[in-house]
A and B are shown apart, each in its own frame.
Chain A
Amino acid sequence: MQRIARAWGQVTSVNRDTLLLIPLGEGRLSRNTAPDKAEGAMKQLELEALTGLVPDGASVVIPVSRSGVAMAATRALIARGVKDLHLIAAPTAGIQADMLIGAGCVDVMESAGITLDEQGQAGRFVAAVKSGAIRLKDTTCPALVSGLQAGEKGIPFMPMRGLIGSDLLANRPDYRVIDNPMADGGDPIVLLPAITPDIALFHAPLADRFGNVWIGKMREMMTMAHAAKTTLITVEAITDDDLMQDPLRAPATIPALYVSAIAKAENGAWPLGLEGCYPPDQPALVDYAIAARSDDGFATYMAGAFGKAAE
């Protein structure tokens, strides 16, 4: 906490009791009621209440493993036994998706790549592909970025170069090819349907008490929040400052009107890192990668992980 306070200015030292002092909304998500209604008061929730807003069967967009993955929230989702998620990686994923797949929470995996990076293959993902336990929507990185951009613009599709002649395109009946209408005939180009996820779920360094969330260089979080119907964010800390009034931080801040709810989760990206806050816990990532290679290893790991969390 102190380290983050130094990095991002004054931080409100909150605990579970003082959280209640911050005004809560009606407990309903504004974009689920009236699309044009901005948040009145920030919805600050406990972690379990935040993840409780992810219904079974929801489409959930998640960020790359480098930074901003809501791992504490992921463990809470698994503990709750969420089912039939349609995970959308923006545009690749790692331990978060692998863990959710291994725990039986995922129906559809839409991504350009699932990897544990230096630790190698994502064992539960590979096992689920081989057993047919998940449905795949394989694609390429910029197609996911473009689809989310169409979602945030409120347009039905985005055209994109590439893909033609690939087996990715051959296996995506939702992608279309048309001739470029701006050319004098010919010039085929792929149209990607807009992606408007039910939920965007990620972790950020800092929120303020108004519900604005500072994301630093993680610009893709902004696109995710713009495109999703509901945005749920866990944060390391909450400041009394108004981030939108700070000219240095405001351009890297998601305005509160996109933020459906936040929950405080210190070290909320662990065992992954959070850029500028803490690095990945490499030994813990190695432990997971080894465990995920087998059904038994994964089961033992998860039992241990939840035992540890309960202590």
Chain B
Amino acid sequence: MDYKSEELLICVIARLLDGIGHVAVGVSSPIPGSAALLQRALSGGETQVTVLNSEHLQSLNDGTGELFDRAAQGRIGAFFLSGGQIDGQANINLVGIGAYPQQTVRWSGSFGSAFLYYVVPRVILFRDEHTRRTMVETVDFISAPGLSAPGVYRPGGPYALVTNLGAFAFDKDRARFRLTSIHPGHSLEEILDNTGFTFDHDPSPPTTQAPESDRLTLLRGAIAQEVADPYPKFAKAVFDC
């Protein structure tokens, strides 16, 4: 069954959400959002999804702070973060490039990262541009650190990194990423060429599993309709609905 690159990424991320009770997603994260909705369908209702700032996929009603309170209690199982820069220790930079504060490149800001990265057990980093520009040796500004010093309250943190080229797991003990699979059509050499940090990998890492045909059918049917609520542009472009 043919599939689009977005559909592959959605299925990769959905597998990382297996067993999660409540997953929260940002409103500008259509691929993770679609993955969360796919996982919800596959879980038979076990997985709840909250899309921040969406009109309908909202299970909270006590204002902006409620999600953070719930996360602080350990009741958000998974969340997604990204970065203008991500480095080999899983530090993320959402602020900008150059000397702070008068930076040469400025992005939007850190949003909830400097809190949620600490308290959500399974934070999945997602970036659909895997280049030496985004995957750097050391970030220019730490919006949120990948690791904390011993003694700092840190039940949460980086679990995986998914890009347009491959998928990585984060090894907290080694403070390093490990390449777990390479997406079809890409190679280890391409990933090494495009990554500014060193990472662990097998000599011949496996190829990322293609989307299962039953999942593609589910995705293009019921899930596509759900995706169109918070992510109308994305649903139109990928699922033509």
A→B interface (CB under 8 Å): 64, 66, 90-92, 111-115, 117-118, 121-122, 125-126, 129-132, 135-136, 138-143, 145-146, 149, 160-169, 171, 186-189, 217-220, 222-223, 275
Contacts and interface: CB of A to CB of B under 8 A. Distances in A.
A121 B118 CA distance: 27
Contacts of A219: 61-64, 66
Interface in B4-56: 27-28, 53, 55
B65 A165 contact: no
B65 A92 contact: no
Contacts of B148: 164-165
Interface in B89-119: 94-96, 100-104, 106-119
B108 to A, nearest CB: 4
Given A129-B101, A142-B68, A145-B65, A161 B109 contact: no
Contacts of A160: 115
Contact of A142 (B27, B104, B115, B233): B115
Contacts of A166: 110, 114, 142-145
Interface residues of B, number: 45
Given A118-B28, A140-B111, A168-B110, A218 B63 contact: yes
A167 B118 contact: no
Given A165-B145, A217-B61, A275-B55, A171 B106 contact: no
A130 B103 contact: yes
Contacts of A162: 114-119, 144
Contacts of A126: 106
B108 A115 contact: yes
B149 interface: yes
A296 to B, nearest CB: 20
Interface in B116-153: 116-119, 141-145, 148-149, 151-153
Nearest to A165: B145
A136 B101 CA distance: 7
Given A121-B108, A129-B106, A164-B148, A141 B63 contact: no
B114 A140 contact: yes
A163 B115 contact: yes
Contacts of A171: 100-101
A165 B141 CA distance: 11
B153 A187 contact: yes
Contacts of A112: 109-112
B169 interface: no
Given A143-B115, A171-B100, 10 more contacts: A91-B64, A131-B102, A132-B102, A136-B101, A138-B109, A140-B115, A161-B72, A162-B119, A163-B115, A219-B63
Nearest to B151: A186
Interface string B149-160: 101110000000
Nearest to A168: B114
Contacts of A114: 108-109
B4 to A, nearest CB: 21
A140 B153 contact: no
A113 B111 contact: yes
Contact of B64 (A115, A131, A145, A163): A145
A131 B104 CA distance: 9
22 contacts: A92-B111, A111-B109, A112-B111, A113-B109, A140-B112, A141-B115, A143-B115, A145-B65, A145-B68, A160-B115, A163-B114, A164-B118, A164-B148, A164-B152, A165-B152, A168-B114, A169-B114, A219-B61, A219-B63, A219-B66, A220-B63, A223-B65
Nearest to A186: B151
Nearest to A63: B64
Contact of B143 (A142, A168, A187): A168
Given A117-B28, A118-B28, A130-B103, A149 B65 contact: yes
A90 B103 CA distance: 24
B203 to A, nearest CB: 34
Nearest to A67: B53
Contacts of A138: 95, 101, 109-110
A255 to B, nearest CB: 17
Contacts of B94: 113
Contact of B152 (A149, A188, A222): A188
B28 A141 contact: no
Contacts of A125: 106
B110 A140 contact: yes
A219 B61 CA distance: 8
Nearest to B155: A161
A139 B145 contact: no
Contact of A66 (B28, B53, B107): B53
Complex A-B, nearest 10 residue pairs according to Cβ-Cβ distance, in ascending order: A219-B63, A113-B109, A140-B114, A162-B115, A142-B68, A145-B65, A115-B108, A220-B63, A165-B145, A141-B112
A124 B107 CA distance: 12
B110 A161 contact: no
